[in-house]
Amino acid sequence: MSPSDLRADLTTERARVHPFPPAARGPLVLLPALLCDDDLYSLQIIMLADLAEPIVLTAAETDLPKSAQRVLKRAPARFALAGNFAGGNLALEVLAAAPSRVDWPVAQWRQPLASVPKASQRN
- Count of C-beta atoms within a 10 Å radius of residue 5: 9
Contacts with 36 (C-beta within 8 Å, 6 or more apart), sequence order = 58, 87
What is the pLDDT at residue 41? 86
Examine residue 1 and state whether it is found in any structural domain, yes or no.
Answer: no
What is the pLDDT, as a whole number, of residue 72?
A: 97
pLDDT score recorded for residue 85 = 86
Per the structure, how many domains does the chain have? Answer: 1
> Could you tell me if residue 14 is inside a domain?
no
Give the domain range for residue 51. Answer: 35-98
Does residue 7 form part of some domain?
Answer: no
Please provide residue 115's backbone torsions phi and psi, each rounded to the nearest 5 degrees: -95, 0
> How many Cβ atoms from other residues are within 10 Å of residue 57's Cβ?
22
User: Is 52 part of a structural domain of the chain?
Assistant: yes
Average pLDDT over residues 11-18: 56
Please check whether residue 32 is in contact with residue 43, taking contact to mean a CB–CB distance below 8 angstroms: no
pLDDT digits (tens, 9 = 90+) for 68-116: 999 999 999 999 999 988 888 899 999 999 999 998 876 666 555 444 4
State residue 40's pLDDT score: 84
Max CA-CA distance within the chain?
Answer: 53
pLDDT band at 20 (very low <50, low <70, confident <90, very high): very low
pLDDT tens sequence across 36-69 = 888 888 888 888 888 889 999 998 888 999 999 9
